[in-house]
Structure 1
Amino acid sequence: MLIRKLFKFENAHIVRGCSTRRCSHSIHGHSYKVELLLEAHALDDGQMVYDFGLLKGYVSDLIDAFDHAVTLWSGDEPDYVSAMRRHTERWVLIPVSPSAEQFSRLFFRLVDTTLSLTAMCNGEDGVRLHSIIVHETETGYAQCFREDADNLRMGHIDLNAIEFAQAITKKWHDPHLFERLKHGQRLPVPIEGPV
């Protein structure tokens, strides 16, 4: 069985090397929608695949990190990256270009790692991330499946190569969340927060 949870955020980026000059040479923004599709072949004690409320903690914090932020590619022009980090309070530095395709892969890695490290507490059985859909516009989206997330032909997404601005992490339920993910530390049952 599949369940779906939708998240939304506003984000700015430049996608270097793409065909459209407006996108490759000008910072611009989108109203993103991110769909998480979780699967399991059994139900928990509440007769659910996974309680949506459990996604309001760690997963919500990670996706919300991109809201009203600029996403920077570490391979971009160093002067641009440095200026944006200096003049923007909310930024995320990632090891791949911030296209919808790479966002879907990035979120897959972040959410999949979070779910694999999060304690299950209500009889959940075999819950795993099926796919992630990132809608960049009303008419265009990218969908990442497990085999895409670690496909080296699409670029390597190493969690250690991702950096969140301090203005972002200090607002999380657990300001050390990302360090815990990078080190593979088990996470307690998530704390609910607004979504």
Structure 2
Amino acid sequence: MVIRKLFKFEGAHIVRNCSSHRCRENIHGHSYIVEVFITSDKLDRGYMVMDFVLLDKVKELVDSFDHTYSLWQEESDELKTFVYKYNRRVAEIPVSPSAEGYALLFLYLIDKILQNTEHKNGEGNVQLSSVRVHETATGYAEAFREDLKLVNFNVHNIRFSEAIREEWKNDQWWEGIKIKDKN
């Protein structure tokens, strides 16, 4: 069985090395929709794959990108200095912030979150199936579980500015993922 949870964020970026001059040469933004698809081989005692309330850390993760500049870590030092000088909310990420980059990044991070989520209601083998990121009303990218093989980064390559972290209820979920990612 599959469940789907939808999240939204408004974000800005530059997508370097793409075909479009507008995208690769200009800061611009989108109203993103992030769909998370989760499967299980059985239903819990409430006849659910899992209770959506257990996705609170996923909501916090996606919200970390809301009204945030997504800064590709390969950008020039000059642009990085500018972005950090004039923006409080910055997510420095190891992938180009295209829809495909976001889909892979979210797939990786949400999978880590689900691996660190405690299930106490008889849930089955709960797994992240895919993450779909809509960049526009007409286009999206979807990363599937098998696409985790495309990941050539880890959680330590992702940096959230202090302004983002200050808004988290607590950062134990993030620190827990980082600790387990060392192993």
Q: TM-score range by the shorter chain?
A: over 0.9
2:13 counterpart residue number: 13
Residues 50, 127 of structure 1: 8 Å contact kept: yes
Aligned length: 181
| Structure 1 SS opposite 2:180 | coil
Q: Given residue 182 of structure 1, which amino acid in structure 2 is its aligned partner? A: K
CA distance in structure 2 between the aligned counterparts of 1:176 and 1:46, rounded to whole angstroms: 28
Contact 2:16 2:23 in 1 (8 A): yes
Aligned counterpart, 1:182: 178
TM-score using structure 1 length: 0.90
Name the amino acid aligned to 1:131: S
- RMSD (Å) for aligned C-alpha atoms: 1.2
Amino acid at match of 1:6: L
SS of the residue 1:48 aligns to: coil
Query: Which residue does 2:30 correspond to in 1?
Result: 30
Alignment of 1:47-58 (within 5 A): 47-55=47-55, 57-58=56-57
Larger helix percent: 2
Paired residue secondary structure (1:144): strand
State whether structure 2 residue 42 is matched by structure 1 residue 46: no
Alignment of 1:114-125 (within 5 A): 114-125=113-124
Quick check: 2:39–2:127 contact (8 Å CA) kept in 1? yes
User: Percent identity between the aligned chains?
Assistant: 46
The whole-number CA distance in structure 1 between the counterparts of 2:45 and 2:170 is 27
In the aligned structure 1, how far is the partner of 2:176 from the partner of 2:78?
A: 31
Paired amino acid for 1:38: I
CA distance in structure 2 between the partners assigned to 1:41 and 1:72 by the alignment: 38
- Secondary structure of the corresponding residue to residue 128 of structure 2: strand
Aligned partners of 2:44, 2:91: CA distance in 1, in Å? 35
Q: Given that residues 4 and 35 in structure 1 are in contact (C-alpha distance below 8 angstroms), is that contact kept between their aligned partners in structure 2?
A: yes
For the residue of structure 1 that corresponds to 2:153, the secondary structure is coil
Name the CA distance, whole Å, in 2 between partners of 1:130 and 1:32.
20
Instruction: Return the letter of the residue paired with 2:176.
Output: R
With normalisation by structure 2, the TM-score equals 0.95
Q: Is 2:71 aligned against 1:88?
A: no
- The separation in 1 between residues aligned to 2:8 and 2:80, in whole angstroms, is 25
Partner of 2:134: 135
Counterpart in 1 of 2:153? 157
**Which runs of no fewer than 5 residues in structure 1 stay unpaired?**
186-195
